[in-house]
Amino acid sequence: MSLEIYSPVQQINNKLFDDKGLQVFIKRDDLIHPVISGNKWRKLKYVLQQAQAQNKTHLVTFGGAYSNHLLATAAAAAKFGFKATGIVRGEEMQNDTLFLCKLHGMQLIFTDRESYRDKQALFNKFFADDERAFFIDEGGASPEGAKGVSELVDELTDSYHHIFCACGTGTTAAGIIHGITTHSLSTQFNAIPVLKNGAFMKAEIDRFLTAPADYVLHTDYHFGGYGKTTPQLIQFIKQFVADTGILIEPIYTGKMLYALYDLAAKDHFAPGSKILAIHSGGIWGLLGMKEKF
Ligand SMILES: *Cc1c(COP(=O)(O)O)cnc(C)c1O
């Protein structure tokens, strides 16, 4: 597997950050791969190596009909020579994400929301007899996923007072926190849960940590919940993309960057702070959101 990473760090210049005396940077994990972008690439790296080591040739994973993880797995399977099945939550439907999954050769199985809860049971139901089948949890949530993400911190050549990242399952956050701890950095990690009542995210993150760590959860930037948006969020995204030329989307990266800008405006950061935002990829998520714009 050739797994070289291209993810440069770029500065974001604007008047707000100048006025507040902040230097803000973005790590472009979205540039790692056009489809297997961002944290999904990092999360899959060791999962795929584990599958190969066990002679598994068929990746089976799970997701909603707009899941970046399903699409990333479909593309990674095609690129690295695996067969792939996606078990999709809900009634049979068509959309751009699922179209791209199928284009990469993924087989889709739609399942009702009730049976979707028990992923292992679904795997057993369809693939108990397929000894080449390899189970990958929804969102790639796993210790291997966190290990892959922690390598993001190895790549940093500069130090930052803050790192910002969006979280869904918390695997990516755990990986970055692990990297910060391993390198004994004094960087404060800031997690932005994209789901409502995000305080539960602490337990989700902590289950992938090998040692307790301090970090901050900003739980007020979910904009109504997972996949929900508001006109302010959409307006922010339009402005950001037009100002920077960097594509972001409303499910993850838009919420994370909105939080960063909002906290900067509210003097949350000491003047002189250097802040790194992680662009965790996922811009295909825009396709399911076109009507919001
Ligand atoms: C999946 C995803 C996340 C969430 O990652 P977790 O490890 O599940 O917390 C963040 N950003 C983007 C763009 C994603 O696609």
Helix 96-103 crosses helix 68-80 at what angle (to 10 degrees)? 10
* pLDDT at position 194: 98
Which among 140, 156, 180 is the end of a domain? 140
pTM attached to this predicted model: 0.96
The amino acid at residue 124 is N
pLDDT over 70 at 3, yes or no: no
With a 6 Å cutoff on the Cβ, whether 252 touches ligand 1 is yes
Position 4 confidence tier, pLDDT thresholds 50, 70, 90: confident
User: Are both 153 and 288 inside the same structural domain?
Assistant: yes
User: Which among 38, 264, 58 has a CA at the least distance from the CA of 166?
Assistant: 38
User: Which among 292, 17, 24, 29 has a CA at the least distance from the CA of 176?
Assistant: 29
Q: What is the CATH number of the domain that holds 226?
A: 3.40.50.1100
With a 6 Å cutoff on the Cβ, whether 174 touches ligand 1 is no
How many angstroms does the Cα of residue 273 sit away from the middle of ligand 1?
A: 25
**pLDDT tens for residues 58-85?**
999 999 999 999 999 999 999 999 999 9
How many angstroms does the Cα of residue 56 sit away from the middle of ligand 1?
A: 25
User: Are both 115 and 171 inside the same structural domain?
Assistant: no
* 36 class by beta-carbon count within 10 Å (0-12 exposed, 13-18 middle, 19+ buried): buried
Q: What are the Cα distances from residue 201, in Å, to 110, 189, 191? A: 28, 14, 9
Which among 140, 168, 196 is the end of a domain? 140
With a 6 Å cutoff on the Cβ, whether 39 touches ligand 1 is yes
Q: How many CA atoms lie within 13 A of 106 on its CB side?
A: 29
**Domains of the chain: total:** 2
For residue 106, give every residue at least 6 positions away whose Cβ sits within 8 Å of its Cβ, in sequence order, or none: 70, 73, 74, 77, 84, 85, 86
How many angstroms does the Cα of residue 94 sit away from the middle of ligand 1?
A: 22
pLDDT over 80 at 39, yes or no: yes
Domain that holds residue 97: 39-140
Dig out the tokens for 62 from the structure: 């799970």
User: Are both 95 and 116 inside the same structural domain?
Assistant: yes
With a 6 Å cutoff on the Cβ, whether 281 touches ligand 1 is yes
Which among 95, 124, 140 is the end of a domain? 140
Residue 43 CA: nearest ligand 1 atom is 7
User: Are both 45 and 102 inside the same structural domain?
Assistant: yes
User: Are both 128 and 148 inside the same structural domain?
Assistant: no
Write phi, then psi, for 46 (nearest 5 degrees): -75, -25
Q: H-helix or E-strand containing 181?
A: helix 171-182
State the CB neighbour count (10 A cutoff) for residue 117.
Answer: 11
User: Are both 49 and 131 inside the same structural domain?
Assistant: yes
**pLDDT tens for residues 249-266?**
999 999 999 999 999 999
How many angstroms does the Cα of residue 15 sit away from the middle of ligand 1?
A: 29
With a 6 Å cutoff on the Cβ, whether 282 touches ligand 1 is yes
